[in-house]
Structure 1
């Protein structure tokens, strides 16, 4: 029978649904009784049942079956459920702000309920009938615990301050959650950065990145070695399981082949790091840009004289090297309609305003005029020599002098031509903007730059290939009309416009980039 074949096919789809509070026995039966599926109900999204059966986890279209048993949900008063777990920095401010914004935009009201064991919940309901339409549950932990909850089927969405690690990725794939590095499984919600902070009374204003790594490894333990007073350095970091702390290890210590000193004091929240450092004139901590508080952030410097400071613009462009995107990870499950609408909202221009007002760095593109880039041009002139001539710098200015740089930039994973996580999000964002006609009748120029390692001609060729690859990825991601309304070109200037010193791995990675210029 055609219906029977369709029902069996639907049952074999391995898409998930929203997780119920407790799995219970159900029996799903076709109207003619020809097909019967019995098992534990794992979820129902208002349209599809997700059932754990003797054949494995199956998903069945609810419109073609009758549900019997204590676990059967109400089809009339269905309430969508979505469970978040992970980063406290995201759970405490960012996600609640976005839920409030989403509710306001859709004419819904919210009710927040505090619970025990680091949990709270948001109920979304209609103001006219008080009918609850969604329940968002939050488990405020850290990135490690977020992935653990996901793998235990106790969360639908992970809030993470780092990328998923290989063991987690493997276990998720084995649990039929899909490839968690796929664009559909992970997304950058907002942008943040790791910043070194000191007490406002500390005389030290800047620190070389290699020295910063040695400080947190315990190799430099006196402020006198950094131009400060003769006093021991007290180290402060978030909890070892937090995404921010792990990002410090991945981005700062691991490239220098160092590990965190055992003497570092750990805190359950990165905001607690800021409070501890603020009151201790001999302390240094690593916290997020959004949670600097009353502490003072140090500039990052290099032996060549370049310095970089964390700001909304330098984080958005990734010119600041210790950027830390804030991720949402979702398994290959079918979520309720209102949950899908919320996740779609988080990428909207309205949501970017909410993100910015909440104190985080949004992903809306900004335009940076040539006059606002004096430091970059000064660095380029200071670095000019045999490899990069003054004539080449003049060509660069002639090319982009009448254009505006977009804050949308692209950088690459260490030792790879693959764009990093923030850049992969930028590819999708720029593709959507081209689709909507935001750049119609304009010219976009993808400009490649490199580090200074190796011959200048070879670096220029590599930079051009990267620019072409990024342009190709953007066009491939976009659904474009037959006649493109925007002119898109590529150019490369190799090592002509350095952002940081080439004497360290992080500096070279910052210099390897593709920028977007517009006229």
Structure 2
């Protein structure tokens, strides 16, 4: 009983930021030595539009007035100006979007209050902060879910590509679309630059499978610039954030035994899409209460609605009806025909049975969802899957253990699950042949009836 109470207190501590409220001093806020309320540095994916939108919504939430977004003299930097609610004092928030790696350097030098990254913090970046672990819950905020979209010129008559084919294209092994059944047209490769978290994600998910980016690739600091150029260039292919597809054509992706998946909101939200990724904000024990309050706002329902308005995928839960197909296990196919899937998967810290940081927040999101009057008499079903194991029995046992773990933690938030099961290594969403990518198959789905 004492162990259960301790876990309840721990979950209460973890879940507090989603219950957003504030006691900030708004009329005479203190500014830093550069004249800013706080500063966000890092990812262009986040900083180009998403972070400015969220800052503006946060200011409106606190009834700041005359909110205005202003460009600076430096490319990919903006300032959000506003006046305090009563005193009329002018404040500014700075957002500099020069790539994920730059955010950690600015955070380490105490210039940034928040580092924005379109991929997880690297070990080398974490080492810049010897007294803390940036990957811990209190330092890492999952801002949104994004899908890395593979885009091509609109006239290209190819609908889907495998991860292997992507590697061959972006490494320069395939140089003509005719080699893939397309037109007799040279391939031109477009890529984000080396500071980009978007490039780091593409490198981790595609190039790390035995490829290196071709030296012929055209490089861009901005997602929008890359997307515009691909849409105008016959034979072009590139990768960009889901919110920056523009007029380009989207290519569906096949990973291992998965079906071709385009980047759509539901498959990105559940992180089933092979090139889905999380967007992050990091803080290093800052004493800036305005930055901390902004991070709490980001996790709230209002903050996540702003994420959706900016063109990214919100973590607020919604329901989707999935059509059953013949490839599904029989019992799973019956569940699919009777229930709706919620747009989250519970995932775990790699190599452990611990829920990861996003899953800890999703415990409260699911609890809030089930507490709505229209949902209080409905049933929640948990379905577990794992990556390929030494035998089917082990896979079945592990998937059921993951479900039981989530079931126990949900009970502490007041959510009872009336049915649960595990389907082992069936229904993969990622290639099971390589352990680095097969971890995506370790998941617990949530269904509601």
Which bracket does the TM-score occupy, shorter chain normalised?
A: 0.7 to 0.9
Rg comparison, structure with higher value: 1
Unaligned segments of structure 1, at least 5 residues: 1-44, 48-74, 381-392
Q: What residue is the counterpart of 1:89 in the other structure?
A: 45
**1:426 aligns to 2:359 (yes or no):** yes
Indicate if the aligned counterparts of 1:440 and 1:485 stay in contact, CA closer than 8 A: no
CA contact (8 A) 2:258 2:429 kept: no
| Residue equivalent to 1:373 | 323
Q: Deviations over 1:408-440 (max 9, x none)?
A: 1134566x34678xx531331223542683464
What's the counterpart of residue 288 of structure 2? 335
1:209 aligns with 2:160: no
Residue 297 of structure 2 is aligned to residue 345 of structure 1 = yes
The corresponding residue for 2:238 is: 285
Query: Alignment RMSD, CA only?
Result: 2.8
SS at match of 1:154: coil
Mark the runs of 5 or more structure 2 residues left unpaired by the alignment: 1-22, 32-36
Matched residue, 1:219 = 173
Question: Within 5 Å, which residues of 2 pair with 1:33-432?
Answer: 77-80=28-31, 81-109=37-65, 110-118=67-75, 119-132=77-90, 134-172=91-129, 174=130, 176=131, 178-254=132-208, 256-301=209-254, 306-336=259-289, 338-369=290-321, 372-374=322-324, 377-380=325-328, 393-399=329-335, 401-412=337-348, 416-417=351-352, 424-432=357-365
Is the counterpart of residue 469 in structure 1 residue 405 in structure 2? Answer: yes
Aligned to 1:384: none
Return closer, same or farther for 1:346/1:153 CA change in 2, 3 Å cut-off: same
CA positional deviation for 1:128: 4.7
Decide whether the 8 Å contact of 1:290 with 1:360 is kept in 2. Answer: yes
Q: What are the superposed Cα offsets for residues 231-277 of structure 1, whole Å, 9 maximum, x if unpaired? A: 332111011110000111111111x1322222211112121111111
Q: What is the CA–CA distance in structure 2 between the aligned matches of 1:266 and 1:419, rounded to whole Å?
A: 38
Q: TM-score, normalised by structure 2?
A: 0.84
3-state DSSP of counterpart to 1:273: helix
Per-residue deviation, 1:160: 0.7
Using the alignment, how far apart are the partners of 1:412 and 1:257 within structure 2?
26
Indicate conservation of the 8 Å contact 2:27/2:85, yes or no. no
Q: Highest relative contact order (Cα 8 Å, sep 6+), 1 or 2?
A: 2
SS across alignment from 1:427: helix
Residue aligned with 2:382, SS: strand
Query: Do the aligned partners of 2:45 and 2:223 also contact (CA within 8 Å) in 1?
Result: yes
- Across the two proteins, how many residue pairs are aligned to each other? 417
| TM-score normalised by length of structure 1 | 0.73
Structure 1 residues 289 and 485: CA distance shift in structure 2, 3 A = closer
Deviation at 1:302, TM superposition (A): 5.4
**Structure with the higher fraction of residues in strand conformation:** 1
